[in-house]
């Protein structure tokens, strides 16, 4: 006799990510996620309550995972001139995959109507801005961070994908912004 596989909240969020990858943010629904996860619609509603809550949980999980990646990269960048900035540059060296891009688009779509998602993204941005203000040369770190954010968002939203050599060159240029920008007013 085989045991029935227990479906976890993470399994449901994994299914939500797959739905977003295959159908886009507009295709995210309780029904689609339930079907993808192989559970009843009532199970998804029980775990998340609504489509908005499901999306918030998906975003929360992705933000937490990204923050863990950043924390690790910052720790590994301890010997650099500005670990907070250089750790984020190291994270940006990893090319976003289709799942990353699909979830980013879902977040973007949700921000137009979901106040909690807007606040999550504001909080994350404020945390990054505060991290840039720490350490030496905060103005230089801010300028480089803004360039990094533009680069990363351009790829994450699928507007353009650079080849490996170009990526390395751009990220080296962002590091150079930090090195060459004057913090004096």
- Secondary structure in 3-state letters for 20-86: HHHHCHHHCCHHHHHHHHCCCHHHHHHHHCCHHHHHHHHHHHHHHHHHHHHHHHHHHCCCCCCHHHH
- Does residue 2 belong to any structural domain of this protein? no
- Does residue 185 belong to any structural domain of this protein? no
Position 142 scores a pLDDT of 97
Domain count, the chain: 1
- Does residue 158 belong to any structural domain of this protein? yes
pLDDT in tens, 126-169: 999 999 999 889 999 999 999 999 999 999 888 999 999 999 99
State which residues form the domain around 52.
9-180
Distance CA 69, CA 168 (A): 19
28 in Cβ contact with 19 (< 8 Å): yes
At 177, the pLDDT band (50, 70, 90 cuts) reads very high
CATH number of the domain bearing residue 159: 1.10.357.10
- Does residue 150 belong to any structural domain of this protein? yes
Percentage above 70 pLDDT, the chain: 96
Position 105 scores a pLDDT of 80
- Does residue 128 belong to any structural domain of this protein? yes
96 in Cβ contact with 143 (< 8 Å): no
| Contacts with 9 (C-beta within 8 Å, 6 or more apart), sequence order | 47, 57
- Does residue 3 belong to any structural domain of this protein? no
Mean pLDDT of the chain: 88
């Amino acid at each position: 006799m085989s045991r029935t596989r227990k479906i976890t909240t993470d399994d449901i969020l994994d299914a939500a990510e797959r739905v977003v990858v295959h159908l886009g943010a507009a295709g995210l629904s309780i029904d689609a996620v339930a079907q993808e996860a192989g559970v009843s619609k009532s199970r998804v509603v029980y775990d998340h309550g609504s489509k908005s809550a499901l999306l918030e949980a998906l975003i929360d999980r992705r933000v937490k995972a990204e923050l863990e990646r950043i924390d690790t990269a910052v720790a590994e960048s301890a010997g650099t001139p500005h670990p907070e900035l250089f750790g984020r540059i190291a994270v940006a060296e990893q090319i976003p995959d289709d799942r990353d891009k699909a979830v980013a688009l879902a977040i973007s779509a949700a921000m137009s109507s979901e106040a909690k998602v807007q606040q999550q993204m504001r909080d994350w941005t404020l945390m990054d801005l505060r991290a840039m203000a720490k350490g030496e040369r905060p103005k230089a770190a801010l300028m480089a961070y803004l360039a990094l954010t533009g680069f990363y968002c351009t790829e994450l939203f699928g507007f353009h994908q650079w080849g490996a050599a170009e990526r390395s060159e751009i990220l080296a240029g962002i590091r150079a912004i930090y090195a060459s920008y004057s913090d004096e007013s």
